Amino acid sequence: MVDYSIIGSVIDSHRQPAANLGVHVYHHPELLGSDVLVAETRTTASGEFSVGIPEGKLRGLWEKLGRAPRVFLTLSDATKKPILATRTSIIDWQLEYLIYLGGGQPEPKAPDIYGEGMRRMMSTIREVGTGAQMESSTMKTQLADGRMEKDARKSKLSFLKNDEERNDTLNTLFGVLDGFMTTNLEETPIKLVGYDGPQVPRRPWADPDEQVTIWPRKEPFRWA
């Protein structure tokens, strides 16, 4: 009896069906145990694949605790050379995979456009502080003129009253943040800030550009 179903289609870098690729389904038991191969098939001439998995093959610690199984796929070519591995996904009944093999050649030394996010943020805040200092200088020039209306003069004097203390506080904050990043975060953790999300590769030019879309379904369609 087939309790779980995995279907999908694969296209190559020319957006043509990728035929005769090996499709391997692995059960991922999470905390304990190793990944287990539970099913295999090959893509058809139209780049499609379909495989059924009996419930008994997806039994691990999480399943014994009442959790849904977790699986992932790998693809291989005719020589059994690995091509792609998908992320781990929960399967309630059926998973459909739409896979595009981009074929792009990764460049390991390509710049990380999402790196230095915290430093860029600090730079932006510093620019705001610089703008405030320029505004303070302009106000002082206007006050020295002596032709300003009483209410406007009172407002600008109020702003300038704590100007020096405000600048000292801002400079101290920047010093603390810069020291913290230099001694604790360094480059790798800093790169985690500013990332736009999973809709784009983590490192667009350094990572392969294969795209995998997964559609989970909990049960077969039924008319109401």
Q: Do 90 and 128 lie in a common domain?
A: no
135 within a domain of the structure (yes/no): yes
pTM for the complete prediction?
Answer: 0.54
Q: How far apart are CA 9 and CA 46, in angstroms?
A: 8
Q: Do 65 and 127 lie in a common domain?
A: no
28 within a domain of the structure (yes/no): yes
Q: Do 179 and 125 lie in a common domain?
A: yes
Evaluate whether 33 touches 61 at the Cβ level (below 8 Å): yes
Evaluate whether 52 touches 2 at the Cβ level (below 8 Å): yes
Task: Give pLDDT, residue 150.
Answer: 79
Task: Give pLDDT, residue 187.
Answer: 45
65 within a domain of the structure (yes/no): yes
Domain containing residue 131: 117-190
**What is the domain-level CATH number for residue 89?**
2.60.40.180
Phi, psi angle pair for 87, to nearest 5°:
-75, 160
Task: Give pLDDT, residue 221.
Answer: 60
Q: Do 69 and 41 lie in a common domain?
A: yes
Q: Do 99 and 123 lie in a common domain?
A: no
Q: Do 57 and 126 lie in a common domain?
A: no
77 within a domain of the structure (yes/no): yes
Task: Give pLDDT, residue 205.
Answer: 53
Q: Do 133 and 87 lie in a common domain?
A: no
Show the 3-state SS of 19-63. Answer: CCCEEEEEECCCCCCCCEEEEEEECCCCCEEEEEECHHHCCCHHH
222 within a domain of the structure (yes/no): no
**β-strand pairing of 4-11 with 70-76:** unpaired
Task: Give pLDDT, residue 194.
Answer: 45
Convert 153-176 to b/e letters by CB count within 10 Å (16 or more is b).
Answer: eeebeeeeeebeebeeebeeeeee
Number of domains in the chain: 2
Give the distance, in angstroms, between the CA of residue 137 and the centroid of all CA atoms in the same chain. Answer: 43
Residue type, 207: D
12 within a domain of the structure (yes/no): yes
Q: Do 132 and 156 lie in a common domain?
A: yes
223 within a domain of the structure (yes/no): no
Strand partners, 45: none
State the 10-residue block means of pLDDT for the chain, 224 residues long: 86 91 90 82 96 82 70 93 89 91 65 62 74 78 77 78 75 72 51 46 55 78 57
Q: Do 90 and 28 lie in a common domain?
A: yes
Q: Which helix (H) or strand (E) holds 173?
A: helix 163-180
